[in-house]
Chains A and B, each alone.
Chain A
């Protein structure tokens, strides 16, 4: 494989990893606050269709991306009202949100199937992007790829170093303690859930505006679920989410290339299963391994909280 081919393969890995990274980072923040939102897939689809439709209609990709984030946050708001204000079961609500997102996005996107859109422009860093190998790999991506890397660092810093991040972790660790000290548990969780929704929306926008770029029904193809698995895989650490996302992006691209190279005698369907099989394998290893006591799951993950009156 020549250097150029290797660079091209790496670029597709980055492209496959970025939506996973956005969605998983968002869900990580949500889960750190103690909320389990299984609606990532649905929120991604809402973001994908909103981003695509607004970009096509207005011609502004920036507006499209903003609307994608808003659409994801709006979906998350539904989840928040149901689970945080009305104290509905988080698992059931999250599943419903995914199913709702599939249907809603198909409905809203019906008129946009097959419509072309210009992919997001690559923002080349002058001078650096012309370097051999490193140039195209590091310095010639679209804005969302840079944003996803910045978000990883930013969220890591926020959770570990800021007081707001500490309060968020505290709320996920013990809602009752946080309440008795005087923090507004529900408000913190609302903010986290909305942020998670916006990140899922960005993940969707990247899919429909950069990765593909086009709109198709259920185009997320299970990436929301892989993102959820990535959060567990990372044991709730942003740096490991980045690692995991690129690992899974790599597996996805690997199987595509294996299919292209004649499949090595393996049926194409089996190769297409690889990313999902890898997800199941990783989760099994994590759950069964000797380190399972050190998973660092937020202690209140998925628990309902009602402030006493």
Chain B
């Protein structure tokens, strides 16, 4: 099943034995990789498998601890991104390397080594964006652009250097299905013109649809190299995870109880110039129901999370009702007393204090409902027991409860935070980006815990950018776009294309080419 492909003559990039160690972990362990000219090569693996580490070494951002890189047959030392660009390597980062307060043109100029006169560069930007179907207005400020448009800046910036190898790090995680389709067209065009593409993803459908070859990483090692079109999703997943893919079962219809969370005409002004205002957001969630909020990042998800948790208060007390009580005017603590739990998007610094111990982090949100205080003093034993319960029940891999929260991996920390909120038996739970950057095992555990909580009669709201996640876990969902929430729809009857169109993603005057709709299949 795992075939060794016929080497085309002269790989463009060849990495041999690349190794990178971080304290306590070998992020890349003697990795071999070979990319041919004009090939779209997938780098497939779970979060933490070492994909980003590997390409950051190839692009000169991280110095490798061992191994060699050969470029067009000759050994190359790539000591900086500048050196990589000189060889003809371009990279589009997962977390964009853009400057919000500056214009598109300035951002492009900063990313290339020989920008020339600005007027000339603006013309070249327009030419490249036209010929590859990547509409961009060079004069606009980046902070006014959608995530999809921002990614185009990165791509155009790379293309202006006439790259021979373009590295794309999880490019579709922030795009609408339509934008993904448009991106794939651009990438295929580039490959036809001879540019090699190293495409990093953990999405199996995408890799099967787009890539010629795949190198699969697990735990920092190459476990296989294959032709993804000859594999099934199941076989790719087995290679990636090292176990069978757990097909997510849609949960059975549960008994719906009374409405536990009502949001009605919620208005919230933008907090800053770059923020989004919420406009007349309305929805309600019943006991036993999981409600999803989809949308492209930056369309008001953050604001909605804060408005629901009570970190930002609404003018109108009736705009948010928790278990029937008016709560719009209440702060976070008062809302918790009414039975609200909240898992914010930011794990380090918002959901948990990295420098405090696990026990202390449990006290921060749980002291009231878990009765951890006695006349103002902390009941240490009770707090420790609460922390130990969370660690055991939610399988948090930690050597004890006295260690700092910051020393946990992203997945374990998220399980800890979710567990802390769930064990407080909230009537309403708000969860934002529950499985962002979390490995598949932890993600499944978190989804199961949320489903169990709903089955016990809580109302759960999941705010997520990951459409697949919402389609798997929610009963109903709505799309937020520029601060406006769509009408809710029943998840089982929703079509990907409709949701994608509602997500918009492309805002402002930039023209949209929507001819490339929907031949893409999603695993629901």
Q: Could you tell me which A residues sit within 8 Å of B by CB distance?
A: 163, 166-167, 169-170, 173-174, 176-183, 293-294, 296, 298-299, 308-309
Contact = CB atoms under 8 A, between A and B. Distances in A.
Contacts of A180: 61, 81, 93, 97
30 contacts: A163-B115, A166-B102, A167-B110, A169-B101, A170-B99, A170-B102, A173-B100, A173-B101, A174-B97, A174-B100, A177-B96, A177-B97, A177-B98, A178-B97, A178-B110, A179-B61, A180-B61, A180-B93, A181-B81, A181-B110, A181-B111, A182-B82, A183-B110, A293-B271, A293-B272, A293-B273, A293-B275, A296-B101, A308-B61, A308-B62
Nearest to A309: B63
Nearest to B59: A180
Interface in B93-119: 93, 96-102, 106, 109-111, 115
Interface residues of B, number: 26
B60 A182 contact: yes
Nearest to B101: A173
Which residue, B110, B111, B272, has most C-beta atoms of chain A within 10 A?
B110
Contacts of B433: none
Given A170-B110, A181-B97, A182-B80, 17 more contacts: A169-B99, A170-B102, A173-B99, A174-B97, A177-B97, A177-B99, A179-B61, A180-B61, A181-B81, A182-B81, A183-B110, A293-B270, A293-B271, A294-B273, A298-B101, A299-B100, A299-B101
Nearest to A296: B101
A123 B4 CA distance: 81
Contacts of A296: 101
A163 B63 CA distance: 27
A166 B98 contact: no
For B63, B82, B273, which residue has the most chain A Cβ atoms within 10 angstroms?
A: B273
A123 B16 CA distance: 68
Interface centre among A177, A181, A183 (most CB of B within 10 A): A181
Contacts of A181: 81, 97, 110-111
| Residue from B81, B99, B109 whose CB has the most chain A CB atoms within 10 Å | B99
A163 B117 CA distance: 10
Contacts of A182: 60, 80-82, 85
Contacts of B93: 180
A181 B113 CA distance: 10
Interface string B107-135: 00111000100000000000000000000
Q: Which 10 A-B pairs have the closest CB atoms?
A: A182-B81, A177-B97, A173-B99, A293-B273, A182-B82, A180-B97, A293-B272, A170-B99, A170-B110, A182-B80
A287 to B, nearest CB: 14
A167 B80 CA distance: 17
Contacts of B81: 180-182
A178 to B, nearest CB: 8
A169 B102 contact: yes
Nearest to A307: B61
Which of A173, A176, A182, A183 has the most chain B CB within a 10 Å cutoff? A182
A179 B99 CA distance: 12
